Every structure is written in C-alpha cells, then in structure tokens.
Amino acid sequence: MMRRQTLYEGRWIFAILLILAMLSSLVTLWLSLLFLALILYTFAFFRDPDRVTPGDPDLVVAAADGVVADIMEIEETEVVKAPMKRIGIFLSVFDVHTNRAPVAGRIIYRQHRRGLCLDARSPDCSGKNESMTWAFENPRATLVVKQLTGAIARRIVGWSKVGDTLQKGERFGMIRFGSRTEVYLPLEATVLVKLGERVSGGSSIIARLP
C-alpha cells in the first residue's frame, strides 16, 4: 500500500530519476531501463502497508520493520535519564522505513541531534550518528524511541510533534533508506524477542510492560 504522505517524502527522488530516464532514452534504451528499474525500487521503498496492532495495553510493538540487532541494558541519557532496556532494530534498504508508536501515549519529547552516518548495524552508532529522539508517555510507562541515520540514510522525517497523542502502531515518522530504530523500555519490562529475529513495525510484539 502507498500512502500519500510517505510518497511525498520521495518526491524529489522520483522527479530526478524520471528526468534521468527520459534523457537517457535519447542515448540508449538500456540506460533508460536502468533508471526505470530504480523508479520501481523507489516506489517499493516508500511502500507503507497497514498493520494489525495488538490491543493489549501491556504489549509493546516494534517501532520499525527490520532485524533485532541488539538487546541490552544501558543508561538512557536524554529523557528518563536512568538505566533502561534497549532493543535496537536494523533496517536494510529493502525494509519498510515508516516508524510507528510502540505504545499508545502522548509525545512528551522530540529532539533532533546532528551527527555522523556510521553503519547502522553497529550498536556504537547510537551515540554518534545523526538522530531524532522521541518519548511516549502513558499511565503505564514512558518509552523512548530513537531514529538513527545509517551509512546510506541521510534524512530523518518527523510527522508528529510534542503534545500529540498517538495510538499504538500509529505512524509518527520515517527514515530514508538503511538505518536503525531503538526502543528504550523500563527495566521491569519483559523482552519477548531474540537477537536476529525479524519484526514488523506496529504489529510484532517485542516486550510486555510490568
């Protein structure tokens, strides 16, 4: 499924590829076919399917599509400023890149930080790469989500703002091309995924709140 808002983020990419395809057709058909293939891939990249989100308020869903790259206890230094459990999800260039709220709640924090664009598969990139940090608060807990650029990703997009109330699984932003999304949970939360497990944003259960 294609959403207008998601496709809008790729408008300049589509325009440039279309112009290149038209110009290259004047030189060689094979080159224009290459650009047409890139246009089709870009459409696939900006796909944004609907998902069925579990209604149980105790359950936390993945904030992004991808593979669970790391699970660890770490000091969260921006919002909660306390030790939390972190689940890092790596998104390849073939994954859906829309980010979704892991729980229902109000956005109480949103902060963009400039940084590097290191390989998003490394846990160390969390403190070095360009990022946008979000916090979702409800009566059960405060969860922190961090969007991180990668070696290919160069743009983090935020569609929601501080004060917005989102339902679990609702879209709040996206990252363009390969990247990383992290979910920070209370230490008392029970992690329900394993390293290397593939998850789907908005539908895959990754943890249970106490």
Whole-angstrom distance, CA of residue 66 vs CA of residue 21: 31
pLDDT at 160: 97
The confidence score (pLDDT) of residue 48 equals 93
Distance CA 52, CA 32 (A): 39
CB 62 within 8 A of CB 202: yes
pLDDT of residue 176: 76
pLDDT at 5: 82
Q: How far apart are CA 181 and CA 62, in angstroms?
A: 9
Other CB atoms within 10 Å distance of the CB of residue 202: 27
HSE (side-chain half, CA atoms, 13 Å) at 161? 0
Which CATH number does 59-208 carry? Answer: 2.70.70
Residues 34, 25: Cα–Cα separation, whole Å: 10
pTM above 0.85, yes or no: yes
Given this model, what pLDDT does residue 120 score? Answer: 60
For the chain, the farthest-separated pair of C-alpha atoms sits apart, in whole angstroms, at 63
pLDDT (tens, 9 = 90+) of the chain, 210 residues, equals: 657 888 788 888 888 889 998 988 888 888 889 989 988 888 887 889 999 999 999 999 999 999 999 999 999 999 999 999 999 999 988 899 899 999 999 999 999 998 766 666 666 667 778 899 999 999 999 999 999 987 665 679 899 999 999 999 999 999 876 689 999 999 999 999 999 999 999 999 999 999
Domains of the chain, by residue range, sit at 4-45, 59-208
- 15-19 — which CB contacts under 8 Å span 24+ positions? 17/42
Q: What is the pLDDT of residue 4?
A: 80
At 121 the pLDDT is 66
CA 116 to mean position of chain CA atoms = 17
| DSSP structure string for 115-170 | -B---TTSGGGGGTB-EEEEEEE-SS-EEEEEEE--SS--EEEE---TT-EE-TT-
Query: Which residues form the catalytic set?
Result: 179
